[in-house]
Amino acid sequence: MPIHQPHVHLMHRDAVMTAGMQALLAPCGEFVLTAQASQPQGHGAAQVVVADYDTGLALARQLPQDRFGTAPRVLIVTQCDKEWEVRTAMDCGVHGYLLQGCTPDELVRAVRQLGQGLRYLSEAVTRCVADSLSRETLTGRETDVLQLLAKGCCNKTIARELGIGVGTVKTHVKGLMSKLDATARTHAVVVATQRGLIDAGRRPGTPFVAATTPARPRPMQPAPSPARQAALQ
């Protein structure tokens, strides 16, 4: 048994995941384990915090980015495997990233390395990050245009929504298609969805502006009789 046992705090939102990870880590005898449900303040004294994606990002953003400080190191265990999701986590200061399909040995190895002050990325995540570094990143405006393209907007609608000219929209579309190596606007949306740059679930099948239902013609009323006309006068 090692002399130093890193304090590992489990704060994954999925209770089943937390129980499973605790059951896998406890027999190793290498770690002091606490869980959020029973010890919600445990992360303050922990060297390693194991969390879900959203919790891990929120925690990493709050922690000081001092490599030699006493702040806990954050390990995310998640199903989120898109390029944008992984890069966002890395940019926020997350120290480790595992996919939920990892083996028990890999979980132990990741926690052990973070406890030693190192980083850990699963093999699939490492490939994802490496691939993303070889590509040109989209600008903020190109991303805005891409989101509206995914909603089925035409250039005029995009220009109106973003407050820019149609010619500028065409320039941004050309730029993002080049960066995504896409041959058409729909192809660009497909590639961006596969890379996790946009959420396919947000894409409606109709244009951005909802169509209006034509009004039904009102039925013609019969002309009043001469006696009725006299009464009205």
pLDDT for the residue numbered 199: 64
Percent of the chain with pLDDT over 70: 79
pLDDT single digits (tens) 171-182: 999 999 998 888
What is the pLDDT confidence band of residue 214, given thresholds at 50, 70 and 90?
very low
The answer to whether the beta carbons of residues 114 and 73 sit under 8 Å apart is: yes
Kindly state the average pLDDT of the residues 190-211. 54
Residues 65 and 73: their CA atoms lie apart, in Å, by 10
Query: What DSSP string runs through 24-61?
Result: HHGGG---EEEETTT-TTGGGT-SEEEE-HHHHHHHHH
Average pLDDT, the chain: 81
Least confident segment among 9-18, 90-99, 136-145, 167-176: 136-145
Among 1-10, 64-73, 141-150, the range with the most confident prediction by mean pLDDT is 141-150
Residues 56 and 58: their CA atoms lie apart, in Å, by 6
What is the pLDDT confidence band of residue 210, given thresholds at 50, 70 and 90?
very low
Q: Of 88, 86, 83, nearest to 195 (Cα)?
A: 83
Instruction: Output the CA–CA distances (angstroms, integers) from residue 69 to 33, 34, 47, 73, 117, in the order listed.
Output: 21, 21, 10, 10, 10
Kindly state the average pLDDT of the residues 205-217. 33
Which comes out higher in pLDDT, residue 84 or 165? 165
What is the pLDDT confidence band of residue 158, given thresholds at 50, 70 and 90?
very high
Domains of the chain listed by start with CATH number: 7-133 (3.40.50.2300), 140-202 (1.10.10.10)
pLDDT of 206 over the 60 cut: no
